[in-house]
Structure 1
């Protein structure tokens, strides 16, 4: 089996994504500090974040249709260029010293809309550059690199913000999107053209593919609950740490442990091949109940650190395994649309968790919502084992996977092919 990094197309895709992740890792911290310093208002930050989230949620299904219709690679390039421009505008405005909230909200909305078209392309790009047997390792490599960057992201953000200013964090992110677009522009990605129909027909076909697979939709329900539970933990974790665990430093240690666990899980996913990948991955996700319960009980920090590291390790393991399974079992011509519904359900659960948690905590205290979330996430993830499709789905079957290898044309041995000849391959 050819190592994914020996495939030129994936290597460039991997480099572009990794560099882009560096910029993305520093922006959340930079945005929070920049908006807070400029306005002194938490509501202003919530407005900017909401302006990014709303168009992303509304446009995700359409982004999936567009990626399936008009080539995931070209859609990803266009999205990267739009986000490059948005981050550059924000960076220059911050460097100018007088940021305008309306401008920040508008660029956040445009960037959120662009991301709605980029996110459904991710699985399709890997599936179109790496052949089946190497996809797990390719997904694991991407997951490991992203997790490592997230581990270092807050420190890098701090260096940029307090060293040269928050605006440079956005300039860095802008440059990273430009690099990613440049890498994508010169690679060849295999694709399966689809018949031109109405937008509603294409949306319905994508949803039909989701609904017809018990292993897929049942897992999506569990994954959505997991994201909602993560929002509960993210909302109450800092508060509980400050009040009952000795201060903000304890929460920072917990988050760093989670980043380490995420990295280790991603690495293990590239080395282990579970026979029943979805079953194993979903059962592992149930471990997220552990840090929720420990936080509800205000357990000692070392226990909470260990529990959160285990839970995030399970997530790091699941992500590449899930992506590979979807790439192998979902037909190539609907992969972006199916992926868009995956993202939609996952993202929609997060703001729900953010909205309901403060209300529940105000009514019942912080422990109750944490324990409720623990029961829901453990129950939903373990319940997927009751579905025969989940238990029977193995890593060996590959219905719907595209045929033919893509390793040879873009491997190191063929690196002399002119750039103009490797921009696209249509299956």
Structure 2
């Protein structure tokens, strides 16, 4: 529901303000690391295969453990889980930083640290939505998610520059020390946050996993959108794999690629800010249609279009992503019952990110066989069809801004659509306790 004109901004709430500050700090630290990690591993080993190994060590455990992370996020206090994972990731980043600051960094130690950090992120990611929903009122949700999205976008915009500065002046190890410190500060802030928590009856792990899957599968607007989101991530992996070489070899050099990424970060920020003010009548449909704009930079790059056009198109495409994230998160928080929110979010992350490894693996193979134009064009068509096809789902067309909540914010009683067809059915919201 749109916020009342006199509803205070969520940042006036102490708990959300602390949560916002903590997440912003950790996101800034994380945005610094990719530049530092790539340069550090390449400097230490001279091998792109070694870099791929380290990245895989972080990503695979994160994907495999996401469903379990969702169960724990619902079964236990999301704040405590987020705090614990912040401390774990603080330790792993400090360990990597210490290795890189040493005279002889050991790749196997860095890889193990990334495995542990990736596992911790699997338990941390499903807690973000319950934490936001548990610290603000229902009328503040979209503005709260937009504020979180804007902070995330700002971190992505400034993080690479800060990371490059640290690498050039102090060395890559200090970038990881900074990231570790950001997680420590985030944990300290989370310790002071008060979050509403809906207790979940203790059952078997399998029963919890099935219930979370059922909540997601019963809503056609949810699972159809996840297919589109997965296609988008697969297409993004294709662009991130082939784009740098095309920019350097065909479109003017490394500066073109850097300009494209920075323009994308600006677009992401603008899209997040727009999401805080826009009130589309069909939020999921509007967000998915905006996501389809990612086909523009893919097609322009495949056609070897002038680089200013490609850069502008990428900025527009990232604005679509920036708009989608807060709108999608707000819709999910309102529609999914609070006791299942972390589990549903974990499946969301798992299915949305599942296509990325496939894109990373297939893009260079297809480019070698048929040229880069083929995988870029296929990726563009795939993301366009997947995003536009969500309009065929009745729930996507019917789900509007006035859709009653599923109790995700603990605002009293509410309704949600269990069948996912856009038609509300009565559902009493459980009473909540403050953790």
Alignment TM class, shorter chain as reference = over 0.9
Please give the alpha-carbon distance, in whole angstroms, between the structure 2 residues aligned to 1:272 and 1:36.
44
Kindly indicate whether residue 353 of structure 2 is the aligned counterpart of residue 351 of structure 1.
no
Decide whether the 8 Å contact of 1:188 with 1:425 is kept in 2.
no
Whether 1:46 and 2:52 are equivalent positions in the alignment is yes
What is the number of equivalent residue pairs in this alignment? Answer: 409
Q: Which has the higher helix share?
A: 1
Give 1:192 deviation, angstroms.
0.7
- Structure 1 residue 67 and structure 2 residue 92: aligned? no
Moved over 6 A (4+): none
Identify the residue that residue 400 of structure 2 maps to in structure 1: 394
Using the alignment, how far apart are the partners of 1:403 and 1:232 within structure 2? 40
Instruction: Determine the structure 2 residue equivalent to 1:115.
Output: 121
2:101 maps to 95
Q: Partner residue of 1:207? A: 213
TM-score under structure 2 normalisation? 0.92
Secondary structure of the corresponding residue to residue 104 of structure 2: coil
2:132 corresponds to 1:148: no
Unaligned runs of 5+ residues in structure 2 are: 1-6, 413-431
1:279-326: CA deviation from partner (whole Å, max 9, x where unpaired):
000011111111100000010011111111111001100100000000
Which one of the candidate residues 295, 316, 331 is aligned to 2:322?
316
Whether 2:142 is the aligned partner of 1:132: answer: no
CA deviation after TM superposition for structure 1 residue 253, in Å? 1.0
| Pairs within 5 Å for 1:365-384 | 365-384=371-390
Deviation, structure 1 residue 2: 1.8
List runs of 5+ in structure 1 lacking aligned partners. Answer: 406-423
Q: In the TM superposition, what is the alpha-carbon distance from 1:425 to its structure 2 partner?
A: 3.9
Q: Does 1:22 align with 2:28?
A: yes
Give the distance between the partners of 2:305 and 2:226, measured in 1 at CA. 31
Query: C-alpha distance in 1, partners of 2:396/2:160?
Result: 37
1:254 aligns with 2:260: yes
Q: What is the match of residue 275 of structure 2?
A: 269
| CA-CA distance at 1:404 after TM superposition | 3.0
Deviation at 1:5, TM superposition (A): 0.5
Deviation, 1:328, is 0.4
> What's 1:337 paired with?
343
Contact 1:193 1:426 in 2 (8 A): no
The residue aligned with 1:404 is: 411
Q: Distance in 1 between matches of 2:257 and 2:396?
A: 35
CA distance in 1, matches of 2:135, 2:159: 28
TM-score, scaled relative to structure 1 = 0.94
Query: Contact 1:86–1:108 (CA<8 Å) still a contact in 2?
Result: yes
Higher relative contact order, chain-length normalized (CA < 8 Å, sep 6+): 1
Query: Distance between the aligned counterparts of 2:97 and 2:30, measured in 1?
Result: 13
SS of the counterpart of 1:272?
A: coil
Distance 2:73 2:237 in 1: 29
Q: Does 1:163 align with 2:169?
A: yes
Query: 210, 235, 238: which one pairs with 1:232?
Result: 238
What is the deviation of 1:202? 0.3
